[in-house]
Amino acid sequence: MELNHDILNGITTLFQFQYIEEILECHGMADSQLVKTPMNPNTTPTLLATPKINMTKYQQCVGSLMHAMVWTCPDIAHAVGMVSRHTAASRQAHMTAVKRIFCYLRGTSDYKLTY
């Protein structure tokens, strides 16, 4: 994380460019398709309709997103909250929702928060 403090104007900015790029690369989403929203408003994942997945991998992905959300990406808070509810019983539909959040982050031009 990078911190930039402009004393003259009283503006503090947190940047997280490197972290976002690293988690995209780590989770295989560095070359993913860009999307404009972190969550598809018309889709509700159905638990029984999709196969089970590796819960550890799912939990790692959600944890990475939570870290980004807390520090510089509050715009993904609702979507991350929705996918984090399924960390104990995740299915393929939930992982698809997580991947969409990664795609959104990849398309976001600035991973910064200004105070």
CA distance 70 to 44: 25
Q: What is the pTM of this model?
A: 0.78
Q: What is the pLDDT along the chain (115 residues), one digit of tens a residue?
A: 777 888 898 888 877 888 888 999 999 998 888 888 888 877 665 655 678 889 999 999 999 999 999 888 888 999 999 999 988 888 898 999 999 999 999 887 566 666 5
The pLDDT of residue 14 = 79
The pLDDT of residue 42 = 76
The pLDDT of residue 60 = 96
Given a contact cutoff of 8 angstroms between Cβ atoms, the answer to whether 97 and 32 are in contact is no
